[in-house]
């Protein structure tokens, strides 16, 4: 780290700035911190900064309505960031275009938000002298791995426009840490699931399809492997990095269940008492990564341990979608019959 690195000073009234705080993972973080789930940030004030694209939804923050400050803004809007960032102690950068299928159809928004948006935000953090910044990223930046698990020194080899854009943002973050001494740490996580996840993603899409009596579209042979983590555990890992992580360092937050897509699909079918005939085989996604796997030994050495077992987490997630059609039905309608 550069000698100009800022010193992190704890305060009883931490001011937190969350980009993408109305999205799936960002809203989980905001709900948790404002509900007292992170004792180190008890009494914190939170600013949610979100553009409210199709994936941002203030209904995700209904349980903590009135307890945060909301700014509707784009991470590429440097002038607005310069106005609203100063005075905050921690910036958590969740905002991103994140759906691989959409990135295949059109990459421009992904490059704009995930690369230029990250650079614009980090510039604003540098000017405002923010003491702690977290860049939230993904295991997909590493590409695909046949066996074993990646540690934080693995080379980046992204294979989709989405993962390439996230890798670009990560490299910008690392460059700002080294060149400017910006106290930014990077987290990379496996596949998330949980409540409030947009129904374009596989678990809520398959669950809501089945609830509505639709088939579930399974790519290719269903043999692609993903490591699943509950969004609450992911946010616990991010919080640990916010509290104890070193500037310029990368931290993995691994999942708790490594499954093929077919195995995952069968578990969703079983949870909803649906027959195997509800599986519809569809052509594989272009450039579909075969397997992801992270080693999170570095984060566990700081005290991290996931708490949500996959079986209980999946059951609770599916039950949430069964119980909350008023949340997801409007989103499904905007997607069309897909």
Q: What pLDDT is stored for residue 336 in this prediction?
A: 66
**pLDDT confidence band for 9 (50 / 70 / 90):** low
Neighbours of 313 (CB within 10 A): 22
- The answer to whether 277 is a known catalytic residue is no
- The answer to whether 139 is a known catalytic residue is yes
Express each pLDDT in 172-181 by its tens digit. Answer: 999 999 999 9
Express each pLDDT in 119-171 by its tens digit. Answer: 999 999 999 999 999 999 999 999 999 999 999 999 999 999 999 999 999 99
Q: What pLDDT is stored for residue 335 in this prediction?
A: 84
Express each pLDDT in 192-233 by its tens digit. Answer: 999 999 999 999 999 999 999 999 999 999 999 999 999 999
Express each pLDDT in 293-312 by its tens digit. Answer: 999 999 999 999 999 999 99
Q: What pLDDT is stored for residue 8 in this prediction?
A: 53
Nearest CA to 188 out of 244, 100, 249, 278 is that of 249
d(CA 82, CA 256): 39
Q: What pLDDT is stored for residue 101 in this prediction?
A: 83
Extract the tokens encoding 260. 């093929």
Nearest CA to 265 out of 224, 306, 293, 325 is that of 224
DSSP 83-135: HHSTT-SEEEE------HHHHHH--HHHHIIIIIHHHHHHHHHHHHT-SEEEE
Check whether 1 has a pLDDT greater than 90.
no
d(CA 186, CA 178): 13
Nearest CA to 95 out of 23, 33, 191, 166 is that of 23
Q: What pLDDT is stored for residue 4 in this prediction?
A: 43
Residue 274 CA neighbour count, 13 Å, CB half: 24
d(CA 32, CA 51): 21
Check whether 274 has a pLDDT greater than 90.
yes
Note the pTM of the prediction, 2 decimals.
0.95
d(CA 34, CA 36): 6
Average pLDDT over every residue of 273-289: 94
What is the rounded end-to-end Cα distance, in angstroms, of the chain?
Answer: 48
- The answer to whether 162 is a known catalytic residue is yes
d(CA 36, CA 29): 11
Residue ranges per structural domain of the chain: 15-192+230-253, 202-226+257-332
Total residue length of the chain: 338
CATH code assigned to 202-226+257-332: 3.90.25.10
Active-site entry in 74, 139, 227, 289:
139
Classify domain 15-192+230-253 by CATH architecture.
3-Layer(aba) Sandwich (3.40)
Active-site entry in 29, 49, 162, 251:
162
Extract the tokens encoding 151. 């540690």
Active-site entry in 140, 170, 227, 296:
140
């Amino acid at each position: 780290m550069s000698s100009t690195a800022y010193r992190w000073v704890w305060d009883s009234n931490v001011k937190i700035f969350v980009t993408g705080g109305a999205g799936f993972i960002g809203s989980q973080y905001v709900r948790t911190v404002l509900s007292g789930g992170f004792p180190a940030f008890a009494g914190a004030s939170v600013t949610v900064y979100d553009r409210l694209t199709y994936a941002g939804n203030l209904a995700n923050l209904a349980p903590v309505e009135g307890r945060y400050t909301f700014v509707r803004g784009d991470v590429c809007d440097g002038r607005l960031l310069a106005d609203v960032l100063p005075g905050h102690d921690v910036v958590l950068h969740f905002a991103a275009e994140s759906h691989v299928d959409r990135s295949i159809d059109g990459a421009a928004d992904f490059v704009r938000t995930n690369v230029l948006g990250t650079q614009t935000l980090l510039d604003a953090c540098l000017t405002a002298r923010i003491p702690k910044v977290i860049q939230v990223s993904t295991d997909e930046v590493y590409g695909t791995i046949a066996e074993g698990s990646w540690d934080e020194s693995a080379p980046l080899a992204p294979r989709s426009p989405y993962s390439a854009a996230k890798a670009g943002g990560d490299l910008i973050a690392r460059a700002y840490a080294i060149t400017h001494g910006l106290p930014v740490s990077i987290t990379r996580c496996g596949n998330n699931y949980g409540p409030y996840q947009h129904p374009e993603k596989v678990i809520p899409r398959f669950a809501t399809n089945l609830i509505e009596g639709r088939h579930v579209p399974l790519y290719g042979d269903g043999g692609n492997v993903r490591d699943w983590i509950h969004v609450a555990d992911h946010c616990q890992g991010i919080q640990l990095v916010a509290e104890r992580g070193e500037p310029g360092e990368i931290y993995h937050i691994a999942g708790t269940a490594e499954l093929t897509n077919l195995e995952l699909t069968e578990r969703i079918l079983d949870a909803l008492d649906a027959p195997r005939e509800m599986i519809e085989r569809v052509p594989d996604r272009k450039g579909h990564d075969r397997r992801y796997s992270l080693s999170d030994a570095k984060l566990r050495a700081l005290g991290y341990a996931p708490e949500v077992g996959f079986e209980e987490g999946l059951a609770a997630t599916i039950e949430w979608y069964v119980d909350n059609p008023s949340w997801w039905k409007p989103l499904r309608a905007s997607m069309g019959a897909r």
